[in-house]
Amino acid sequence: MEATISQLAKLPQHQAAIDVEYALGDPNDETSLMSYKRVMELDEAEFFQEEFFQYLLSIKLHHNYVPAELGGKFKSYEQLYALGKVLARRDLATAVTMSTMIWSNLVWIGGDQALKERCAEITKSYNGAMCLAYSEEDHGADLLANKLTATETDDGFILDGEKWPINRASRSEVVMLLARTANDRGARNLSLFMVEKSKIDCSTFTYLPKVKTHGLRGCDICGIRFSGTKLPKSALIGKVGDGLELAIKTFQVTRTLCAALSVGALENNLRVVMEFALERQLYRGNVFDIPNARHYLSGAFADLQVSDAMGTALSRALHVIPQQFSILSAVAKCFAPYKLDKAQKDLATVLGARFFFREKHKEGIFQKSLRDSQVVSLFDGSSEVNLYSMTTQLPILARRQRKAFGKGKLVDPQTLSAIFDESQAVETFDGSRLDLSSHGRDFIMESFPQAIAALQQIEAPNETQVCILQLAETLFAKHSANMARILEGGERKIELQSPTMFTLARQYCIIHAGICALNYWLHNLQHSDSYVAAGDWLALGLQRLLLELHIDDQEIPEAINQRVADELLARSTEQDSYSLVSLSLPEKQLEAVEKIA
């Protein structure tokens, strides 16, 4: 098979990722900057990955976090999603370190023009990294209970208190800080500040000791203590009392992009295990020849691509329907880390005894990537926090969707195309459209009947298309049954915080991933490479989603499984990425860039 570049890979939103992929080189090459060997040396020593971070700054990767209208290179969240996957595949600790740049969004969403220009200037500077200081040791995710205070004075504010834990606390120029500005416990007692360390008295703040962690060992995770620290009024983001609302709205962006970290981590470990499976000789063949091992490998491949479809679509949807991201961001955050961590654990079974070795196969990078990726579910509110947020919205979502499905009300096709069709450029992101509630609207889920209708209209469907339709109808039937269960009254009414409602929220995420993948496939048939357009990945992926929902009677033809396995083998052999938009990896990257140019 000859490596090919799909039409989608030529689009602007993928160019920064391609450039970084080429710049970083082959991780198997010990002389490359971010080789597996060097990544593991730093991890074993628990050293901060300073050399990697400085290199990424030197190639101006941080400019991708500043809006184009403010002199940066950011045009879409799909662009940042693609970049996140590339970095996470190399080293999740470095990806997480770089991702702290995303907290500039607090200013893009809530700051005035002067603060936006100042934040852009800082972010584009060589040392302009930032960190987020929301949580406190005694209160965790309960932001309303935070005790760090910002006492207003005639010329500014005075900070007193601690924040912990914070990624990049001691290595960031800017602290995006959530502080109490009123004594009551109401929603308007918190405010946000952009604290520039170089502009405050260094004797008034100290760093708490570095935290020892299970994963992300080299990350600079510690805390910070303020004592009578003076801030100018210009440090305030938005208005006094806006802090909690801005914090929640910005989480809607960052939670969505967490999917990139999980997809990148799984891609790394799937490639690592595939190389092992092809090299390891057992029973007169290699490990990939063993049916059960091949089942785990091709299943992880399909899981990755379903998650990639969801991550791509939702990163685009931030530009199209930001007002619905109180629900959509929770879906992204709860699905990808949960699903892809399970896939990695299946891969550990294939790796066998080498899973327990920290220095043999690929320097032990599999274990590091698995450890590191498990923390993604805790970022920006844990999965349980996000599921709880969903439970409070599920009843109104169920009522709205039952009404929409019953009346056959269509979602605007142009809106769906803007979300799912990668060939369409998205509009400039407007953070003012973010909302604390979706008010019962979820256009993507509401489009389920339209997607099924589109499948039913395919003339002379082939084996795979017939299978996709059957699986989609089963998935929709399960969703309809779940929504009906939520709306039941009387003695069977489900309490919002009950385990049953949390289960239904989790299943909403799983089903949502399925409709995202289905819509992605339908809207990109003309632009994707032949494998993605054929849909075998989608059939296998939908079947695996149904298994998560405890529906195990949906068999798919063995030929579909075989074609997915064949594609996995081909991409591994040809050094192509495993994403839906396949990019040539470093050995062939120069040729790929030349083709695109």
Q: Enter the tokens of residue 120.
A: 């852009």
pLDDT band, very low/low/confident/very high, at 364 (cuts 50, 70, 90): confident
pLDDT of residue 3: 37
pLDDT of residue 463: 97
- Judge whether 24 and 30 are in contact, CB under 8 Å: no
Average pLDDT for 230-249? 97
Average pLDDT for 42-47? 94
pLDDT band, very low/low/confident/very high, at 128 (cuts 50, 70, 90): confident
Mean pLDDT lowest for which of 320-334, 353-367, 371-385, 411-425?
A: 353-367
Average pLDDT for 521-550? 96
Residue-averaged pLDDT of the chain: 92
Segments making up each domain of the chain, as ranges: 7-124, 130-237, 248-587
Average pLDDT for 224-250? 97
Tell me how far apart the alpha carbons of residues 96 and 379 are, in angstroms, rounded to a whole number: 10
The yes-or-no answer to whether 7-124 and 130-237 have a common fold is no
**pLDDT tens across 55-95, in order?**
999 999 999 999 999 999 999 999 999 999 999 999 999 99
DSSP string computed for 132-158: EE---TTTTT-GGG---EEEE-SSEEE
Average pLDDT for 510-528? 97
CATH top-level class of 130-237: mainly beta
pLDDT of residue 2: 36
DSSP 9: G
pLDDT of residue 590: 40
Tell me how far apart the alpha carbons of residues 76 and 57 are, in angstroms, rounded to a whole number: 20
DSSP string computed for 84-106: HHHHHHH-HHHHHHHHGGGGGHH
Is the per-residue pLDDT at 597 higher than 70?
A: no
Alpha-carbon separation of residue 59 from 124, 323, 354 (angstroms): 11, 34, 36
Fold of 7-124: Butyryl-Coa Dehydrogenase, subunit A; domain 1 (1.10.540)
Average pLDDT for 491-516? 90
In the numeric block, the tokens 């092809």 are attached to: 278
- Judge whether 420 and 523 are in contact, CB under 8 Å: yes
Is the per-residue pLDDT at 126 higher than 70?
A: no
Tell me how far apart the alpha carbons of residues 150 and 228 are, in angstroms, rounded to a whole number: 9
**pLDDT tens across 254-291, in order?**
999 999 999 999 999 999 999 999 998 877 789 999 99
Is the per-residue pLDDT at 156 higher than 70?
A: yes
Domain made up of 248-587: CATH architecture: Up-down Bundle (1.20)
Q: How many CB atoms lie within 10 A of CB 237?
A: 24
Full-model pTM:
0.94
